């Protein structure tokens, strides 16, 4: 878990530095901007997976897959709002 936190922190810092390069007009390119925008979704995915793995571990034996699918469906349903 510590490796995941360290990796996530490094990736967030990297993408934030790239975003500051765009904001302060040091480097502007369309693909560069799209690349930095994808980082938010990537971090959301890491956060979601870490929380879901914990919830699946406490699910009753034999119901892990349905627990995971219900949590994923509920999360994806709320995201457009």
pLDDT at res. 60:
87
Contacts of 39 (CB under 8 A, 6+ apart): 11, 12, 15, 18, 19
Query: Can you give the pTM of this predicted structure?
Result: 0.49
- Quote the CA–CA distance of 23 and 69 in Å, as a whole number: 38
* pLDDT < 50 stretches in the chain: none
4-15: per-residue pLDDT in tens?
889 888 988 887
């Amino acid at each position: 878990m510590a490796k995941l936190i360290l990796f996530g922190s490094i990736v967030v810092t990297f993408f934030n530095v790239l975003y500051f390069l765009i904001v302060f007009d040091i480097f502007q390119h369309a693909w560069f901007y799209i690349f930095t925008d994808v980082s938010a979704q990537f971090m959301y995915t890491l956060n979601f997976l870490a929380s879901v793995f914990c919830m699946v571990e406490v699910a009753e034996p034999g119901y892990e897959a349905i627990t995971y699918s219900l949590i994923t469906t509920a999360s994806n349903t709320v995201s457009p709002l």
